[in-house]
Amino acid sequence: MIALKRVTTVALLSVLFNLAACGADSASPSANGTTLSPTKDTRVPAGYRIGAGDVLQIVVWKEPDASVQSVVVRADGKISVPLVKEVDVLGLAPTEAEAMLAAKLNEFIHGADVTVVPKEIHSQKIYLLGGVKREGILMLEASTTVLQAITEAGGLTDEAKPKKIYILRKENGKEVRLPFNYNEVIRGEKMEQNIALVPGDVVIVPH
């Protein structure tokens, strides 16, 4: 009975050792021997596209020297990556950036497998000005309509002119003005005014 217990213990330790070894092989080692793996951010909003000021992690599978732990997207939309130097990622979805980088790196690394992870998102923001209770910046962590943004800002002040609200948005390099009648929308009328906001929008509430 004692001998049987010893054999079972040895077998168990052997299994655990093999599992640990397999786990160690599943990650890509960095240049200093540590593991470099993507650090997913669960707060990335649906439909997210890379913007200026965002911080990205670039992981090239089993190629730590070609990977970047943290890089800031510059105002011109470019980042610096080993081997391929500067690349423009502005407006790309992470999957699109992965495909573009993999294609460029393939000249140096055959079959390059690239993962792009947004670590910090600073570009997804709108601005609320005028007759709202909390003026300032609102981060877009999910799809947000004009009415939702006003609610997030604490609602309208007593001096606000709810029929005169408008959104300033840049389209094709030009600034356009989109009207929003708060009174109509909360009555369920002309709901097409209650558009989904995009990064850079400015919601202005006259008072």
- In this structure, the strands spanning 174-180 and 165-171 are antiparallel
Residue type for position 139: M
Residue 39: predicted pLDDT: 59
More confident site: 140 or 135: 135
Residue 9: predicted pLDDT: 45
Residue 118: predicted pLDDT: 95
Closest of 135, 181, 126 to residue 155, by C-alpha: 135
* Residue extent(s) of CATH 3.30.1950.10 domains in the chain: 55-120
95-105, pLDDT tens digit by residue?
999 999 999 99
State the Cα–Cα distance between residues 128 and 190, nearest whole angstrom. Answer: 22
* Residue extent(s) of CATH 3.10.560.10 domains in the chain: 125-205
Give the side-chain half-sphere CA count within 13 A for 72. Answer: 5
From the centroid of its chain, how far is CA 102?
Answer: 20
Point out the least confidently predicted range of 47-51, 85-89, 117-121, 174-178.
Answer: 47-51
pLDDT band at residue 40 under the 50/70/90 scheme: low
Task: Please answer whether residues 176 and 169 qualify as being in contact, where contact means their C-beta atoms are separated by less than 8 angstroms.
Answer: yes
Closest of 58, 52, 54, 53 to residue 43, by C-alpha: 54
pLDDT exceeds cutoff 90 at 25 = no
More confident site: 88 or 11: 88
Point out the least confidently predicted range of 36-40, 41-45, 73-77.
Answer: 36-40
- Residue range 173-179: mean pLDDT, rounded: 93
State the Cα–Cα distance between residues 69 and 8, nearest whole angstrom. Answer: 43
pLDDT > 70 fraction of the chain, expressed in percent and rounded: 79
State the Cα–Cα distance between residues 184 and 194, nearest whole angstrom. Answer: 10
| 125-205 fold | Outer membrane lipoprotein wza fold like (3.10.560)
| 55-120 fold | wza like fold (3.30.1950)
**Strand partners of residue 60:** 114
More confident site: 25 or 37: 37
pLDDT band at residue 46 under the 50/70/90 scheme: confident
Task: Please answer whether residues 56 and 89 qualify as being in contact, where contact means their C-beta atoms are separated by less than 8 angstroms.
Answer: yes
State the Cα–Cα distance between residues 57 and 114, nearest whole angstrom. Answer: 10
pLDDT band at residue 12 under the 50/70/90 scheme: very low
pLDDT exceeds cutoff 60 at 28 = no
State the Cα–Cα distance between residues 149 and 87, nearest whole angstrom. Answer: 34
Q: Cα angle at 189 between 185 and 194, to 5 degrees?
A: 40
Closest of 177, 185, 141, 135 to residue 46, by C-alpha: 141
